[in-house]
Every structure is written in structure tokens, then in C-alpha cells.
């Protein structure tokens, strides 16, 4: 079966080609339709291209390794989530979990438009939180690089090598278990 889940991967070879506003709207509507605890929808997405004021702050917060490829993406997106529930102010323990589901929806819908996402945890979250002067009710979780596929040959050599490596996954019998003694 050839479906979007089989096609999906996280490329570093992305293209700067601009994405139409109506496509951006479509994929984020789908991201916003994900399930969440108490339907709280804690996710927020700061979407930037390299002509936006905050772009440089976001790009500068990336690790050197990520800077080397992520500059080719059409957009950098800061994924942000609420720290407390809006309805009662209690700690929102599943907030990042809910944001993650929203990003999964986003990623799969994006593929329907031939758009790819590579998520990043490799950035200075404290520096970025301060430079963006982020409202203290929220926290930054990841930065996403979004774009059409680029040409692997345009990447620096160190990235070209790893872009072509086979991807591995744990076998099903390690993640789907009937006995907790099998946890490893």
C-alpha cells in the first residue's frame, strides 16, 4: 500500500519556493482539527519566512548543525503551546502531547500538497523565548522547517551523506506488547 504514511520522511533538502497562502491556511486548519485534552487546543504556530522581522531571531537560535540546512526551507515555524488550561488555570500536563498530535496532522496534510516538514529540537529555547518576548502562559516546544522538496545536491556534503542513509524503525514486537516484562 502506497499511502502518505509511507511517503513521509523528514528531508533536509527543502526548497525556498514560496507556498501559496491558501495552502498554508488549509494545512493549519487541519492542524487545528486535532484532538486535545478538554478540547483545549493549546497549539500555536508562529510562521515566518526570511523577510519577516522575527525570522532572524528564530534562525539565530538554531544549532549550527540545523542552521546549515534549515535556511533552505520556505518557512520556519515555531511550535508553541499553553502551559495551563484556559478554563481553570490548572497545569496542562498533556499540552506538548496535544501539540505533537497537531503537528502530526499538519505533517500528513502538508504531504497532500507535496510539502514536507522536518521538526527540530536543536535550538536554544531559552534564548528564543527571551528574544521573542514570549507571553509567559506559553512555551516553545520545537521549530519546524516547511517546504517543497529541494535538490539534495544543493546541500553541503555533510548533509548529503546523511540524507541518503536508510531509516530504521523498532520492530513491531518491541512497541506493541502484551507483557510489561518486555519493556526495554
Ligand X SMILES: Cc1cc2nc3c(=O)[nH]c(=O)nc-3n(C[C@H](O)[C@H](O)[C@H](O)COP(=O)(O)O)c2cc1C
Which parts of this chain interact with ligand X (CB under 6 A)? 9-10, 66, 118-122, 142, 167
**Closer residue to ligand X in complex, CB, 28/123:** 123
Q: Is 46 helix (H, G, I), strand (E, B) or coil?
A: strand
**Closer residue to ligand X in complex, CB, 85/138:** 138
**Closer residue to ligand X in complex, CB, 109/118:** 118
**Closer residue to ligand X in complex, CB, 102/142:** 142
d(CA 49, CA 17): 11
**Is 81 in contact with 96 (CB distance < 8 Å)?**
yes
Q: What is the radius of gyration, based on Cα positions, of the chain?
A: 18
Q: From the CB of 181, what's the least distance to ligand X, in Å? A: 28
Retrieve residue 91's grid coordinates: 497545569
d(CA 85, CA 83): 7
Q: How far is CA 71 from its chain centroid?
A: 15
- Ranked by CB distance to ligand X, the top (closest) residue is 122
**Closer residue to ligand X in complex, CB, 87/170:** 170
Phi-psi domain of 143 (left: phi exceeds 0; alpha: psi -120 through 50; beta: other): beta
Q: Is 99 helix (H, G, I), strand (E, B) or coil?
A: helix
Amino acid at each position: 500500500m502506497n499511502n502518505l504514511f509511507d511517503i513521509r520522511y523528514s528531508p533536509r533538502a527543502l526548497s525556498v519556493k514560496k507556498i501559496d497562502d491558501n495552502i498554508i491556511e488549509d494545512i493549519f486548519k487541519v492542524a487545528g482539527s486535532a484532538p486535545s485534552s478538554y478540547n483545549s487546543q493549546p497549539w500555536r504556530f508562529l510562521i515566518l519566512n526570511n523577510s519577516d522581522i522575527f525570522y532572524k531571531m528564530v534562525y539565530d537560535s538554531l544549532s549550527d548543525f540545523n542552521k546549515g540546512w534549515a535556511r533552505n526551507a520556505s518557512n520556519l515555524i515555531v511550535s508553541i503551546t499553553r502551559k495551563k488550561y484556559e478554563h481553570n488555570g490548572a497545569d496542562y500536563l498533556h499540552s506538548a502531547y496535544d501539540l505533537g498530535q497537531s503537528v502530526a496532522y499538519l505533517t500528513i496534510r502538508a504531504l497532500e500538497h507535496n510539502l514536507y516538514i522536518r521538526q527540530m529540537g536543536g535550538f536554544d529555547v531559552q534564548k528564543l523565548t527571551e528574544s521573542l518576548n514570549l507571553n509567559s502562559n506559553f512555551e516553545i516546544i520545537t521549530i519546524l522547517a516547511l517546504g517543497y522538496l529541494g535538490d539534495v545536491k544543493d546541500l553541503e556534503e555533510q548533509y548529503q551523506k546523511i540524507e541518503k542513509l536508510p531509516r530504521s524503525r523498532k520492530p513491531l514486537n518491541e512497541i506493541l506488547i502484551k507483557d510489561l516484562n518486555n519493556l526495554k
